[in-house]
Amino acid sequence: MEIFSSRDAVHKYLLELRAAGKTIGFVPTMGALHAGHLSLIETARRQADIVVCSIFVNPTQFNDKSDLENYPRPVEEDIKKLKDAHCDIIFMPEVEEMYGKSESWHIELGDWDNILEGKIRPGHYQGVTQIVKKLFDIVQPDYAFFGQKDYQQFMIISQMVRMLHIPVQLIVCPIIRENDGLAMSSRNVRLSSEERENALALYRGLTKAAELFKTKSIDQIKNEVNAFLDSAPGIEPEYFEIYDAGNFKPITDKSAGSIIALVAARVGKIRIIDNMILKQG
């Protein structure tokens, strides 16, 4: 496994591999790796000849300074996990390697920038698209792998790829959960044991939604799940919404081909997001 911190060096190394006919699969991450990240590496390994994983805690996508400062950075453990997962290349640059002193970025993302996560974290998706575009330029992957866990992010990156004609195929991978259902997240390590228990309400709300989906209307599901979340101990719900998973717009009936429920809540100081497909397209 090769480890790079220089963008030029990794770019050149990958150019040679591509010239030798190898396909490149890319998994961008912010590190603090868990089984969810490793499942993306595994999928990438099946799809591409060479797997590149980036680890970069991107400052421009954090609108909460203390979240950025407290974001876990277990570098040595991450390197070991990636080695064990047979990742070929790690790209882990410093912030100065990725950003000049004064840089601006704006991409028109329409409504998707201002709803759900975009509404609660203003500027978040501008930061996400800024770094993903830079990483795509450096790595020039044939395939890039993203988790359904961050479904809105996947939709937004898909939109950027379409708008900017970036020659990459995006692949969305299923959410990996703990045994009790909690979606794996790098931030989970910051939950106390009581918060960890309380955080399960999000998964329970989603499974409730999936159950209700069989018999109830969208409005009824939203009312019941919102009431459940409001009464769940130790969490502050931020949203529970049901969207058309294809055009990523809110729905009022079940006619859309694929339907997704999305939830976010604060558990103590930590924000947790999760989602579940209610109807598969």
Q: Which of 37, 86, 106, 165 is catalytic?
A: 37
Tokens 């529970």 — which residue? 240
Q: Is position 124 an interface residue for ligand AMP (rule: CB under 6 A)?
A: no
3-state secondary structure of 51: strand
* DSSP secondary structure string for all residues of 152-190: HHHHHHHHHHHHTT---EEEEEPPPB-TTSPBP-GGGGG
- Whichever of 37 and 121 has its CB closer to ligand AMP, that residue is 37
Q: Is position 149 an interface residue for ligand AMP (rule: CB under 6 A)?
A: yes
Q: Is position 198 an interface residue for ligand AMP (rule: CB under 6 A)?
A: no
Minimal CA–CA distance to 46: which of 186, 176, 185, 173?
Answer: 173
Q: Is position 40 an interface residue for ligand AMP (rule: CB under 6 A)?
A: yes
Q: Which residues pair with 170 in a beta bridge?
A: 144
Tokens 């081909």 — which residue? 257
> Least distance to ligand AMP from the beta carbon of 92, Å?
12
Stretch that binds ligand AMP, among 11-19, 105-113, 159-167, 168-176 (CB under 6 A): 168-176
Long-range contacts formed by 189-196: CB under 8 A, 24+ apart: 189/32, 189/72, 190/70, 190/72, 190/269, 190/270, 191/267, 191/268, 191/270, 192/268, 194/234, 195/234, 195/267, 195/268, 195/270
- Whichever of 117 and 212 has its CB closer to ligand AMP, that residue is 117
- Taking CB under 6 A as the rule, which mask of x and - marks residues 16-35 in contact with ligand AMP? -------------xx-----
Q: Is position 190 an interface residue for ligand AMP (rule: CB under 6 A)?
A: no
Q: Is position 146 an interface residue for ligand AMP (rule: CB under 6 A)?
A: yes
Q: Is position 184 an interface residue for ligand AMP (rule: CB under 6 A)?
A: yes
- Whichever of 160 and 218 has its CB closer to ligand AMP, that residue is 160
> Least distance to ligand AMP from the beta carbon of 255, Å?
28
Structure tokens at 136: 């795509």
Q: Are 106 and 126 in contact (CB under 8 A)?
A: yes
Q: Is position 147 an interface residue for ligand AMP (rule: CB under 6 A)?
A: yes
Q: Is position 201 an interface residue for ligand AMP (rule: CB under 6 A)?
A: no
CA–CA gap between residue 52 and residue 193 (Å, rounded): 34
**DSSP assignment, residue 210?**
H
Structure tokens at 65: 């300074």
Q: Is position 277 an interface residue for ligand AMP (rule: CB under 6 A)?
A: no
Q: Are 264 and 247 in contact (CB under 8 A)?
A: no
Give the interface size with ligand AMP as a residue count (CB under 6 A): 17
Q: Is position 186 an interface residue for ligand AMP (rule: CB under 6 A)?
A: yes
Catalytic residue flag (residue 37) = yes
List the interface residues with ligand AMP, window 65-84 (CB under 6 A).
none
Q: Is position 213 an interface residue for ligand AMP (rule: CB under 6 A)?
A: no
Give residues in contact with ligand AMP (CB under 6 A): 29-30, 36-37, 39-40, 146-147, 149-150, 173, 175-176, 183-186
The residues carrying an active-site annotation are 37
